[in-house]
Amino acid sequence: MNIKNSNIIVLVSSILLVVGFIISIVNTMVLVSPTEHIEGSWKEISWEYEKTESGNTNKKISDAIKTEICKELIIHEAEVWNFLAGGNLELTSNTNNETLSWTMKGRGNILELSHKTNKIEHYNIQILNNDKMVLYFSTDIQAKGIVKMTFEKIKEDSYAQKI
């Protein structure tokens, strides 16, 4: 490769890098961030094991085990999670209402929940879009493994009608 070609390659790569950086910065300002995506109400759809150490093929988590797992967590047993813009999270169920604080870490892939008692928990955000949210967290209740929680976004209209 001659010097002229090398110079062109260096110049083009440098321009591409700088343009890529500018596009990235613009994207972070224009695109919907995970923080904005998560705001609103989410309904719990399912709880299942993503991975277990026991090698059990039945990944569905029964209500009894879910209750056991929830005893160890600050989220308890909620059916609807309402993420408010100010950083509060309202957990609503038939029997209980609770308010926690939420924030995101990393590149928006970690959900941090904190309780008034200063207890903090982290959930891995696997999927987050307009309709669906999937959270992972580790547990060692009953079977050591990773629990997958799936949520469905409650659209503004239907939620307003419901309440």
Contact residues toward another protein (CB under 8 A) are 17, 20-21, 23-25, 27-28, 31-35, 87, 103-110, 112, 122
Residue 2 Cβ vs another protein, minimum distance, rounded to whole Å: 24
Nearer to another protein, 28 or 57 (CB): 28
- C-alpha angle 117-119-121 in degrees, rounded to nearest 5: 150
Residue 150 Cβ vs another protein, minimum distance, rounded to whole Å: 17
Residue 68 Cβ vs another protein, minimum distance, rounded to whole Å: 27
Nearer to another protein, 113 or 147 (CB): 113
Nearer to another protein, 34 or 40 (CB): 34
Round to whole Å and give the CA distance between 30 and 133.
22
Round to whole Å and give the CA distance between 116 and 100.
7
Nearer to another protein, 78 or 125 (CB): 125
**150 in Cβ contact with 134 (< 8 Å):** yes
Round to whole Å and give the CA distance between 136 and 144.
13
- Candidates 155, 153, 128, 142; CA nearest to 65 is 142
Which tokens go with 15?
């321009």
Nearer to another protein, 9 or 71 (CB): 9
The residue behind tokens 């926690």 is 100
Residue 33 Cβ vs another protein, minimum distance, rounded to whole Å: 6
Residue 61 Cβ vs another protein, minimum distance, rounded to whole Å: 25
Which tokens go with 119?
């207890």
- H-type alpha helices, 31-55: 34-38
